[in-house]
Amino acid sequence: MANSFGKIFTITTFGESHGEAIGGVIDGCPAGVELDLEFIQKEMDRRKPGQSKIVTQRKEPDAVRFLSGIFEGKTTGTSIGFIIENVHQRSNDYSHIKDSYRPSHADYTYDKKYGNRDYRGGGRTSARETANWVVGGAVAKQVIPDIKINAYTSSVGDLFLEKPYQDLDFSETENNIVRCPDAEVAKEMIEKIDTIRKQGDTIGGTVTCVIQNVPVGLGEPIFDKLHAQLGKAMLSINAVKGFEYGSGFCGAKMKGSEHNDIFNEDGSTKSNLSGGIQGGISNGMDIYFRVAFKPVATIMQAQQTIDKEGNIVEMHGKGRHDPCVVPRAVPIVEAMAAMVLTDFMLLNK
Amino acid sequence: MANSFGKIFTITTFGESHGEAIGGVIDGCPAGVELDLEFIQKEMDRRKPGQSKIVTQRKEPDAVRFLSGIFEGKTTGTSIGFIIENVHQRSNDYSHIKDSYRPSHADYTYDKKYGNRDYRGGGRTSARETANWVVGGAVAKQVIPDIKINAYTSSVGDLFLEKPYQDLDFSETENNIVRCPDAEVAKEMIEKIDTIRKQGDTIGGTVTCVIQNVPVGLGEPIFDKLHAQLGKAMLSINAVKGFEYGSGFCGAKMKGSEHNDIFNEDGSTKSNLSGGIQGGISNGMDIYFRVAFKPVATIMQAQQTIDKEGNIVEMHGKGRHDPCVVPRAVPIVEAMAAMVLTDFMLLNK
Amino acid sequence: MANSFGKIFTITTFGESHGEAIGGVIDGCPAGVELDLEFIQKEMDRRKPGQSKIVTQRKEPDAVRFLSGIFEGKTTGTSIGFIIENVHQRSNDYSHIKDSYRPSHADYTYDKKYGNRDYRGGGRTSARETANWVVGGAVAKQVIPDIKINAYTSSVGDLFLEKPYQDLDFSETENNIVRCPDAEVAKEMIEKIDTIRKQGDTIGGTVTCVIQNVPVGLGEPIFDKLHAQLGKAMLSINAVKGFEYGSGFCGAKMKGSEHNDIFNEDGSTKSNLSGGIQGGISNGMDIYFRVAFKPVATIMQAQQTIDKEGNIVEMHGKGRHDPCVVPRAVPIVEAMAAMVLTDFMLLNK
Amino acid sequence: MANSFGKIFTITTFGESHGEAIGGVIDGCPAGVELDLEFIQKEMDRRKPGQSKIVTQRKEPDAVRFLSGIFEGKTTGTSIGFIIENVHQRSNDYSHIKDSYRPSHADYTYDKKYGNRDYRGGGRTSARETANWVVGGAVAKQVIPDIKINAYTSSVGDLFLEKPYQDLDFSETENNIVRCPDAEVAKEMIEKIDTIRKQGDTIGGTVTCVIQNVPVGLGEPIFDKLHAQLGKAMLSINAVKGFEYGSGFCGAKMKGSEHNDIFNEDGSTKSNLSGGIQGGISNGMDIYFRVAFKPVATIMQAQQTIDKEGNIVEMHGKGRHDPCVVPRAVPIVEAMAAMVLTDFMLLNK
């Protein structure tokens, strides 16, 4: 079930970038949750295209239509079906990729795997799919309201937000279009993306996510470790190339005497290089991780590529694309994290 | 099923560090595979404790006893049960952790989650479990003999093997005890680990893995992406803090015009920052990834910690432990990769 | 994932009887299948309400709207989303069950399990859900066009079609409204149902299903036996109380010397009491099974029941209901069988 | 994972009839359950061969060796590995089936599916596998001690125990070797089996199972209905041809006005034709079902069959076999029911 995620709280999705609609089924949501539909739409708005000058200019309202599983404002415990109509397709923008493969896109691999591909807007490979995940995440967040999940842009290219998360005010994140909770760094990041955009180029970046107020005991040892499932969730997001939690790759340079988190009497730890997880199980400390996104593959520059027959052809980016995925990835990272946490909360109850 | 991994080719495991035996069930192995049992034992020997001065001195033969699923030297298509007896336990080495929690170990989280814990040698949290995985990986490698999987130690602490994998001779990896395929760097790494060990300390490191000769089309889009499943597999290994593939975290600093892999006429690409995977599906280029391991938490130094009642106590490392997990992690990384690849090969056939 | 069925070819569904729409996601359908949408609609018409005088008079066009996974008439290998709008709800027919429990319906168990229930038309418990399954089955049939699946009404109450399936002409099944491929018996069955209907009562019955042209080797031994999965599929259908295949319950009265199927030289068998499956694996002979349906619980007669407070109240059936589910169950049985067979065909390829 | 059963409480098994050992892994057993190992062995003794004159004379102690997951008498929440050594194989009894197919056995289907088969004692197709299930069931029964599961032999051939289960004393079941809780009928059944055995023939039968003290709300609607999962479990048992619950196939002959279960004020029902389940969810009434077993295929008479080349050959039953599986199937039915109930109890908590 390549289009399903989760064990107890699951989402199963469908939809192509330029098809009629995308959507999905949320299964395993407990009964009796009062769903705030406005909140869900606000989450959608954080991800939707056209929200600012540094993202793709495709205009989609991304209005979610819930078809089942909710009665008189509350979840019923049955599966929640939803669809999001696609309204602003411009499929003829994509005729140039019908017979050619965009470099570093999945055109080639889909064609070789399936032999039959909806090439319009990237079809199923488009990150448009992640709108479905934001629906799932926005429901999940309401199932586990006590757990606080905050993601933010922590780097754009080689421009890093150096402050540790403890020094940040997450309520600042939504105050700028790049979603960096430090106004000054945000400004620089926005300028950087705008410059790159004007060059017809794109740029990578990272998103950091902090999960707070997690009870001790979430996660299943051995093969369903909490961080392994978080990692899988993040690596499912389009353009992700890496995942690290706690000390991450830096931890690999350290000594045990530096890295160990010493306990306080109440079971909390003085440091938290572990990132809130020991042996795959939450220890009650903050969980934090970082996700690396490559630069968007579609650039507004001429590139050499091949067509289906293997002839070298020149291709020039068309369509409406993000110069940097990171600002819109922030709510997607949160959504996937929310679904993972909800799944483990329900498994653990 | 926290103790199972895989969808078609699956492994389900059991066993505590100081119990009678560990073992597992391999399900979904195709019929008719001629199993080379000597090869399996050789793989076990690469992982086993006591193999050199820079690893734990526990002596376990790690002899695998296959109980089913093999008839007249060939797999029958039915489930393969196996056990590995534990012979060299020294459980009294662990009486000091019966009532106290070792810092940065899973003692605390297991106790809080389960309320009942086999503390001897870390019980189920011990990396002894990974011996089971090496059995699974050694079988998997024989199911997909054409796919070449080579892992090696790429860093110990801040000492990095700088050469790209293309310049390495993987046949050198097993020629030194740290499993670095560059004799000179290997020597430095061994010295580093030995120095750390004498200090009663431990050190982290990274393992790089290269998978070659992969057919185009492996991996399922959306939630079972090839790299997402590889990432989950790697994050399941004890002490892992991060995973990146292809350009990884470096890719997040790059521009699209630098990062895109331009096609050759035959569908291969000139560069391979993608790491052999596009849209979650293999593109036929080499797959490569890097895994970060934290330093081993058990150090031979006094550390402050707490007991079950929350009293501050002093603890001193006992038992036999690795000063650096990386040399023994190399075959484990390969084993997990082999199982993931086999799973997708069977799903894709 | 209570709302998903299948391992490789899967369906995940949603929808309440009187909600906006029902629908689902078909995952794992191979790429390149030319889908005959008219055929799908014809299958829907076989199940839809209002098709004859002996079924419920609710009028639903049951028009399927496919939203993804199909491009230029062919499946793409990605997930197929679909919805069926509900158009002929009469929810006020159900205000009488808002606070009371209909006998032998799932009102009571849903309320106790979930505490929150969409009572209109039975909500999620309604067999309206099975319209989704017929979509899945109609797609599945086109994935495995060589396998012939024919179900038919084999009894209504105590009126049995005595002829063995070998003596029937399945092309006759759709020639009468009760779906019995023997015109004479069909006539009697229709009369029986009509009489029962006029009494405000309902009646049970059985459906027999014959699957022909199945390759040898389908089914996974031990826990995914072909007949076990078929049984689970059938027992998932509303109102089903029993499943038997091959000799079934009659076989339990027989001796081994009578029951054994003796081989012909080509591996076929002279008799087929086994029902085409040995050890959970198809043997190439016809698979046949029988499914028992209880009488519909809603009767147009006064019945005593209780309300939510446990007070005894009198209830009288309202709404539009089937006097006998069997005629409409025929395509549902086929649909579930088609999905099971497709799943095993894909697993076995 | 053809060799796994269950979602939360799962069992994964391995082993051939004449291999070294059989065994499995129980995953998802909650921590802190005090396991009565003597009880487990008693359950094994109910199933084991050689226990009476009316069962196979193979002598196996069926001693269970637990290897993990239990510490100081209690479950730890980690996976429970176990093995059962095979000690009384007589593999040369089976040389005659190496190249020929026993009628109505799975020899032919396994050979066609896998091309490689451990033919000794039927290999993996042997009901010896069910010893593993009894281990799982015996653990499961201790996880849900309040739920009472009682199975018994309800027919042998055409000899039926006519009394409804309400009139039976389940404590009588183990007082006779056929496991029928009515001494008189039991005597007749034993005589019948013994007569059949002397004829070198075998006979089918049915097992009825009653599950009492089940809380309201177990079972997941749509595709994981409680009775659908029970049905799948029962249909997984060797030689089973049918499953019915509540009114079963008789219910298909009834009218709604006869079949509906009218509520009492407390939510219980006056009758219980529903069999304790409505809409796939337990309603608190007794669950009862009936399972049909075909006669054992191995008879001590000459039968015609074919060899691998398709030549007609004569075969005569050898080895040690049951004249009727039903007496030994009683604990197996209970074991599978116990695992299903435990799974839903854990899912529902």
pLDDT of residue D91: 67
Give DSSP secondary structure letters for D269-314: BS--TTTTEETTEE-SSPEEEEEEEPPPS--SSEEEEEBTT--EEE
Q: Residue B1 pLDDT > 70, yes or no? A: no
Per-residue pLDDT, C285? 98
Q: Is the pLDDT of residue D174 over 90?
A: yes
Over the Cα atoms of chain C, what is R_g? 21
Task: Please give the average per-residue pLDDT across D160-185, as a whole number.
Answer: 97
Distance from CA of D348 to the nearest CA of A (A): 10
Average pLDDT, chain D: 95
| Residues with Cβ within 8 Å of residue B191, at least 6 apart in sequence | none
pLDDT band at B283 (very low <50, low <70, confident <90, very high): very high
- B345 CB contacts (<8 Å, ≥6 apart)? B143, B144, B147, B215, B218
Q: How far is A279 from chain D (nearest CA, A)?
A: 13
pLDDT of residue C119: 87
Q: How many Cα atoms within 13 Å fall on the side-chain side of residue C149?
A: 26
Tokens coding B152: 């090696």
Average the pLDDT over C90-119 and give the result.
87
Give the per-residue pLDDT at A1.
Answer: 67
SS3 A158: coil
pLDDT band for position C1 (cuts 50, 70, 90): low
Contact assessment for residue B30 and residue B145, using Cβ atoms and an 8 Å cutoff? no
- In the block, residue with structure tokens 């049984």: C231
What is the domain-level CATH number for residue D255? Answer: 3.60.150.10
Is the pLDDT reported for residue B174 higher than 80?
yes
Contact B260 A299 (CB under 8 A): yes
DSSP H or E run through D148: strand D148-156
d(CA B237, CA B328): 12
Segment D1-30 shows an average pLDDT of: 95
What pLDDT score does A316 carry?
Answer: 82
Nearest to A202 by CA among A135, A102, A285: A102
Other CB atoms within a 10 A radius of the CB of residue A73 amount to 11
For residues B165 and B148, what is the distance between their CA atoms, to the nearest angstrom? 14
**pLDDT digits over D245-293, tens only?**
999 999 999 999 999 999 999 999 999 999 999 999 999 999 999 999 9
A246: three-class secondary structure by DSSP: coil
Contact at 8 Å (CB) between A230 and A245? yes
Stretch C6-30: mean pLDDT: 96
To which residue do tokens 């003290």 refer?
A: D213
Contact B67 D14 (CB under 8 A): yes
What torsion do the CA atoms of B98, B104, B106, B107 make, to the nearest 10 degrees?
Answer: 20
DSSP class of A126: S
- pLDDT value of residue B242: 98
Least Cα separation, residue D49 to chain B (angstroms): 21
- The Cα A221–Cα B124 span in angstroms is 9
Q: Nearest-CA neighbor of A15 among C343, C71, C30?
A: C71
Q: What is the mean pLDDT of residues D192-196?
A: 97
**What's the CA gap between A50 and A27, in Å, rounded?**
30
What is the pLDDT, as a whole number, of residue A86? 92
Please say if the pLDDT value at position B57 is more than 80.
Answer: yes
Chain B contacts to C (CB-CB under 8 A): 78-79, 221-222, 349
Q: What is the pTM of this model?
A: 0.97
The secondary structure of residue C203, as a DSSP letter, is: B
Identity of the residue in B79, B221, B349 whose CB atom sits nearest the CB atom of C78: B221
What is the average pLDDT across D289-301? 96
Q: What is the ipTM of this complex?
A: 0.97
Strands A205-212 and A159-160: unpaired
pLDDT at C91: 67
- Cross-chain CB nearest to C222 (options D13, D228, D279): D13
In the DSSP assignment, the letter for residue A185 is H
DSSP three-state, residue D258: helix
A-B CB pairs within 8 A amount to: 334
For residue D187, the enclosing domain spans 4-348
- Rounded to a whole number of angstroms, the distance from the CA of A159 to the nearest CA of chain B is 8
Predicted pLDDT at B346: 97
- The per-residue b/e assignment along D245-273, b for 16 or more CB within 10 angstroms, e otherwise, is bbbbbbbbbbbbbbbbbebeeebebeebb
**Token pair in block for residue D216:** 């309201």
What per-residue confidence (pLDDT) applies to C272? 98
Confidence of residue C340 (pLDDT cuts 50, 70, 90): very high
Weakest-pLDDT range from B158-167, D174-183, D306-315: D306-315
**Is residue C106 a contact partner of residue D278, using CB atoms and an 8 Å limit?**
yes
Kindly report, residue by residue over C275-304, the tens digit of the pLDDT: 999 999 999 999 999 999 999 999 999 999
Q: How many CB atoms lie within 10 A of CB D142?
A: 18
Distance from the first to the final alpha carbon of chain D? 26
Nearest chain A residue to D8 by CA: give it. A347
Q: Which residues of D touch B (CB under 8 A)?
A: 1-4, 10, 12-16, 19-25, 27-28, 31-32, 65, 67-69, 71, 74-81, 83, 113-118, 123-124
The pLDDT of residue D97 is: 78
Residues in chain B closer than 8 A to C349 (CB atoms): 349
Contact assignment for A223 to B4 by CB distance below 8 Å? yes
Candidates D259, D264, D265, D272: best to mutate against C (most CBs of C within 10 A) is D259
Q: Which residues of C are annotated as a binding site?
A: 47, 53, 124-126, 238-239, 279, 294-298, 320
Mean of the per-residue pLDDT values of chain B: 95
Query: What's B180's DSSP letter?
Result: -
> Is D313 known as a binding-site position?
no
For residue A208, what pLDDT is reported?
Answer: 98
Name the domain count of chain B. Answer: 1
Rounded CA separation A318/A274 (Å): 44
Residue ranges of B for the binding site for FMN? Answer: 124-126, 238-239, 279, 294-298, 320
| Cβ–Cβ < 8 Å for C79, A25 | no
Q: How does DSSP classify residue D212?
A: E
- CA B274, B275, B276: angle at the middle one, nearest 5? 95
Instruction: Write the DSSP assignment of B82-128 as a string of letters.
Output: EEEE-----GGGGGGGSSB--TTSSHHHHHHHHS----GGGGGGSGG
- The pLDDT score that the predictor gives to residue D98 is 86
Mean per-residue pLDDT pooled into runs of 10, chain A (349 residues): 93 95 97 97 94 88 96 96 89 78 95 90 92 98 98 98 97 97 98 96 98 97 97 98 98 98 97 98 98 96 93 84 95 98 94
Average pLDDT over every residue of B286-301: 96
pLDDT number for residue D122? 86
Share of chain C above pLDDT 90, in %: 88
Contact A29, A143 (CB under 8 A): yes
